[in-house]
Every structure is written in C-alpha cells, then in structure tokens.
Structure 1
C-alpha cells in the first residue's frame, strides 16, 4: 500500500496505529482553529479600517452613517442562501450600545428601529432595516411581526425586502410557509396579517411562477392553508365544525379561485395531507425560551468534553459541548448529539477565566453583559421537545488542561461572531 501524502511511492504497512490517527486528527483540529482565528482577526482589522473610513466621510458630509456591519450591504449583491447570514459584527461597535438597541426594539419595535438609525447602527433605508430584522439574533419574534405588519409606506417596503430575503425556490407552498412563519410571530390584527401574507404570496410566486397562475392565487392558497391548519389541529375548531375533510378544503378553494386558475388537484391534495400529518406550528416568542434545535449541518467550531457546574445544585457533571456560529450546545453524551440538553445563545454574554474555584481546575465561565442571568434554555425533564428557561447567573465549565481552557475560550469568541469582547475578561 502506498500511503497518500508521502509522494515518493513508499510502501508502508497498511495497518496505521490508532494513536497516530488520533494525534493527527487533533493536530488538524488545532490547525483549523488557528486558521479560523486568523480569519476572524483579519475581519476585525478590515472592519476597523471600514469604520475609520466611515468616520472620515462623516466629517466631510452630513450623510447617514453606513450600515454596520457591511455584510448587510453585501447581502443584496449575493444570491439568496437558505442558510441565514451571520449576525452583525460587534468588532468595532459598542457592545453595550447594541444590547440597548435590541432591548429597545423588543420593548417597542418602531422606537427601537428609530434609535438604531439615530445612533448610526443601521441606515435609514427599508433594505437595511429588513436585513437587520432578518439577520440579527436576540430579537423578539413578536416585535418583528408587529413591525412588519405596520401600514405606512416605509414599513411596507421593509416587509417586501424581508420577504424577498427568503429562498422559496423549488419549495412547495406549505414548507415555504413553515419557513416564513418561523421567522416572526403573526400579529393579531387582521390587516397586519393580510399585508404579511400578501408579501409572502408575492415572493413565493416570484420563486415558483410555474406552480400557481398568479400571486393572488398563491395568497388565497396560503391563507386557506392557515385556516386548514386551524380546522384540523385546533381543538375548539374541530368540536364546533366537525371534521374538515379534503373535499371541504377543495370546495372552499373552488369558491374563491376561478376555474381556469385552480391549482392541480394533486397539488391541493398534497397541501391537505401535509397539514393533516404535520401541524403548521407558530413560534413562541423565543427571545427567552425557544431555541434553535441543533442542526447537524451547522458549522462546528469546537466540540469535546467539559465538566459543567449545576445552577441550583453546585455539583459537576460531564457533558459533551459543541460550539457553532452563535450558539453553545451541551449534551448528555457524544452519542446523543442530536438531542441537546441545553443551549446558550452567545449574545450579550462574555467569557472569563476562573482560577479560584476550589473544586475544579482550569475553569472558565460565561456571564451576562446585561441583566442578572444568562438567557439560555434547557430541555424540560421527562417532556420530549419541550424547553424551559434556564436560571444560571453564570455558566461555569472546567477543561482538562490549561491549553484546553484557552482553546475553548478562543472558540467561544470565534463562535460568538465577536459578540464576546476580544480582550481577556477577568
């Protein structure tokens, strides 16, 4: 056997020792982490250069400050991706200022956006406002829905750009609805719902003009789908109206769509079966409780075993941790890495080394930059799929060595997309 990579035709024993493979694997992991850190540092320097340029421009002309980060600007020049863009960079921004901005938005969406614009954090344009709502983490989905549903021309333009950021190409309308409605909470007012669904229908038709005759037909079908979901899965609706059969659903569409514009019957039947077998669930306001379930396709920055200290009971338990872009997940074991026990969004938090813990060595902890506890969620005991709010004032972990501790802290700072300060906090 010729071992690839030697390049000299050397014949070696086909049995490669496992310890050699493990060492090589760890070496490659460290090299990858080093490359990621260098990339992050380059981005920091580029962002600082951009910030300096922006400041010089502001001195010479009375114009609105360019949007920070510039990734929002680039978004409109790039193809729409199914995976969301990374959250805004805080490399050259005041972390506290961004935290205040998000709190203001979550309390009052219109006032929050106005504050962001007045402080130069986003530009006063529908495009930049929509990009902020679409990309930013830590925003109340209820506040996003309320803002998108407003009736003045600026908000309507924001809604159009927000809908346009969704990639619905080659998707059936039910799955497109699931994705769209997962990004905000529908407001209660009928007129707001109408505007939001109209924007969805227009975007879906742009992506799939061959499936439905017009955008108006998409609008009717999407609204009918939501009503179907209520009829099939809402207990009160089932009791009052009886079973909502496929025939009833078909007839309801026949009454509102012209015959020559009716979708094919197999399309309608697929919608009915999809909703019947898989309820269209609307998100809770996940600013505190709901979490993004770990995506196996997510970019893993670092994973490994750590000791984690409990919140109320200060005992230590060994957990498998995974850092992805913007999140820290922990699991009961490595084998159960599709079922997280908890998740910590790396937003409005910082990390510091802890050297005075008498029970464990090589400790570090995540602590809140605002408020008195870390906003995180954990799986409810004994209830599959249910999540409850965590109550940790800090999350303290223990690594196996000093080098490992430094690696974890470094990975957290990379995974946080620079929500965490770059300087060492102690």
Structure 2
C-alpha cells in the first residue's frame, strides 16, 4: 500500500475504499518507507481530496494535549518534508496550528498564535544552529520579543505564554536542533551548472566553477565532484545587474561588501568581495541564472511567508471590523490580533538585519520555499557598477 502511495498518491487515494483509506492514514504515521517528499506535496495540495486528507492525517496524530509545543513540532515535521510552494506550506502549518490550539485551549486561545510561534521557533532554530551565523539571538531577546508582543493581552493568546515558558522553548531549541531528513547541497537545487567567475586577484581571468542555487544562497565548488562548497554567498539584500548577453554581476548596494563565506579546513572565513562577476556559456543560460537568482534575492522565504500571513490576517480582521461596526468588541479584537502578530516586526527585523550581513544556509529544510513565494515581488533596480572587486584571492 505504501509503495502504491509513493508511486502516485493522487490516483491511489481517489480509488481506495474508506477502510483502506483509514488504514493508509495510520500506516503513514508509523511506516519508515514513506516517501516524505511525496507525502509533503500531497498534504499541501489544493484539491478538496488533498485538503480532506491533510485534515485526516493531522488529526491522526495522537492528542497533543499538554505536550510541549516544540516537541509536537518536531514530531509533526519528522514524518514528511515540507513541500515547495508557500501556499502548500501555509495549508499544512495552518492545520498543525488548529490541532495544537484545539488540543491545548488553555495555552493558545487561537490557532494563529500557534502558527506564528511555530515560525518563531523555526527562525530561532536557523539562527542558533547555522554555523555561519556568528552573532546569535540571545535568550533575553527571544523571550522579550515574544513576551512583549504575543502575550500582550491574555485574551488574545491565552495565559500560558509566560517568560518561563518561552525561555524553556528557547533552551530546548538551542540544546536540540529542529531537524528533518538531511539532504545534500545538490538535491532539490533550483539551479546547478557550470559558470565562469572572474578571479579576485590582480591577474583578472575567468575561472570555471560548479554553481548551485539553493536555500537563498549560491554555492560554488572547484569541481562538480566536490562534496563541500568552496564558497557560500547568501543572497538576501543583494542586487543583480546584467553586464552583457553572457555575463552579470551580484553586488551589495548598501554596504558595498558581500558577506560571503569561504569554507576552509580551519573553519568558515568571512569574505570581503565587493561583487561577483559571473559568465554563462550562452545567453539562454545567462537568462535562466539571472531569473532564478533574482527570485531568490527577495529575502528569507520564511520571513516573507510570515509577513504575507500577517498582512492577510490583519486585512481579514479589518474587513470584519468594518462589517460589525465600530463597537468596542470589534476594536478590541483587532487590537489583540495586531498585537499578537506585531512580534514579527521585531523577530523578522532581527533576522533581516542579521542575514543581510552574514551567511545563512538553514539546516532546516526550506530549500524549495525560496522559489514558492511567487505572489510576492520586490523590484531590484540596477545600480551603477562600483568599480573593481575586492577579494581574498579565492
């Protein structure tokens, strides 16, 4: 049965009877031979069949009553891999949040708080366990941001999100990384192939390197057979400029220096390139690379998803307020909802400020999330070239 599901879940689920359907739901929770990528994509589907299956699958977990939030999140994400598209991730995490809030009404009075707190832990996990991030979010900052905003009103989030509770969440994430199936840099890459990179030493010449685009980062290798990249270039906050039919450059328009990371036998070393000049073998290849890179320069995909969710919920409650009128109840509801989401004005700003100046390659699997924020765009106007490139001789 699992082999049939792995091969084609859409057709298989629609053709089985109710007894087999219930048995399949149970097997997907306990079997280790489930294709976690296939399961994640199917759970996030938009068809009514997929949505019903997602609801039944999530409700198939044992009751999460009095179970720690981070422990529940670990259990949930260990059974499948989050899919590519933001809409799919949104549906899955919404269902998770509804079940946890329903099983723990004294901790969360609404599922939106559980939804956003889950992403808060994911951001903390990235910050804490990415070896290329030197300046970590402190416990005081994490607790303060969440305590100051998410629990500003007990009526909006429940009375259990105390400083002690949030501090315990922080300690457990720091002590034990949120993990799902590990993969290689080559797997599920948005783009990979040979490009030529202009050398950074005094003798300017083109160097052929193997490039991989994934996780909002560009990785390049000396050869295709290398297991570990030579350099990692995080794309948040950078700009892209076309130089010719074959060549283009990546640069930072704000601080001039790209905070790339070179991986050495002695550990990561921070780079000081002012720009990277790259050249493809054909105009078609150059355009493909530029389009893919531009879509990843938008920013951290997790942060973008949170921001979009926040905007949607605020608009929803503004509409509800207008429909109900200007009574105190509707105003108070709107204020509480905006309070519960304004934490990400602090949390996302912390990550936006830090990620723009240091490498991030999340060990948590959000690789495909980067290409999925198709409805969010951020124009990157071309800027004047900033002269010769600095470098460290790599």
**What TM-score do the two structures reach when normalised by structure 2?**
0.40
Higher relative contact order (CA 8 A, sep 6+): 2
Indicate the structure (1 or 2) with the bigger Cα radius of gyration: 1
